[in-house]
Amino acid sequence: MYDGDIASVLITEQQIGEKVAELAKQVADDYPENGTDLVLVGVLKGAVMFMTDFARALPVPVQLEFMAVSSYGSATSSSGVVRILKDLDRDIAGRDVVIVEDIIDSGLTLSWLLKNLASRNPKSLEVVTLLRKPDAVTVDVPVKYVGFEIPNEFVVGYGLDFAERYRDLPYIGTLDPKVYTS
Ligand code: XMP
Ligand code: MG
């Protein structure tokens, strides 16, 4: 599949699975069952694969919410100016909320999202991200749960796309430059 497009496999399917289980254990330890379900807020579309695996790995009850946002900027970097394309279906006031992100690059999108959700008065608000690019952090955002620190390279797979392709790969890899130059 996608023959020749992937330059290298950065994180294998097995490594992702192990990390998802590890993150789920950390989160479950921090949110003992108290009669109120945890609300996971997945950021479309990139976080979909992680969200569904993570929700199933968590041994505590969760409710699934999704938001779609678009950040103005180029295809591969964001500006921090964000527009809501799809909002939450439910009120999160008084709820324990965990934002589920695929990747944090500059952190601008997440910074905006944290402010936006915090203004809705959740009981608590944390972030879990599968990937973080530490070199590119220009905004200091508090992220409690981080899966993998990765180098500052464009990656695809496991939800992450280039021009809407490669989201369906079960692993995370780097793209061969010929893909964006052709
Ligand atoms: P910021 O810079 O606001 O951007 O943290 C986060 C969003 O940018 C996208 N992004 C990527 N998407 N491969 C992708 O497929 C990447 O390497 C990558 N880096 C950033 C992504 O939408 C993320 O939510
Ligand atoms: Mg995203």
Cα–Cα distances (Å) from 173 to 57, 102, 153, 158, 159, in that order, read: 23, 14, 10, 9, 11
Name, in order, each residue with C-beta under 8 angstroms of 53's C-beta and a sequence gap of 6 or more: 16, 17, 20
Annotation marks residue 29 as catalytic: no
Digit-coded pLDDT (tens) for 1-60: 898 999 999 999 999 999 999 999 999 999 988 889 999 999 999 999 999 999 999 999
User: Does the domain at residues 13-29+37-154 carry the CATH identifier 3.40.50.2020?
Assistant: yes
pLDDT at 121: 98
This prediction's pTM:
0.93
Angle at 82 between CA 140 and CA 141, to 5 degrees: 10
Atom 14 of ligand 1 has which residue's CA nearest to it?
Answer: 160
Q: Rounded distance, CA 92 to CA 124, Å?
A: 10
Atom 4 of ligand 1 has which residue's CA nearest to it?
Answer: 105
Is-contact 161 180, C-beta < 8 A?
Answer: no
* Ligand 1 pocket, Cβ-based, cut-off 6 angstroms: 46, 71, 78, 102-110, 154-156, 160-161
Digit-coded pLDDT (tens) for 72-109: 665 555 666 788 999 999 999 999 999 999 999 888 88
Q: Which helix (H) or strand (E) holds 112?
A: helix 108-118
ipTM of the complex: 0.90
Q: Which helix (H) or strand (E) holds 103?
A: strand 96-104
Query: Residue 177 Cα, ligand 1 centroid: separation in angstroms?
Result: 17
Is-contact 60 174, C-beta < 8 A?
Answer: no
Coil, strand or helix at 42:
strand
Most informative mutation of 78, 149, 158 for ligand 1 (most atoms within 8 A of CB): 78
Q: Which helix (H) or strand (E) holds 70?
A: strand 62-71
Helix axes 48-57, 13-30, angle to 10 degrees: 60
Query: Residue 141 Cα, ligand 2 centroid: separation in angstroms?
Result: 15
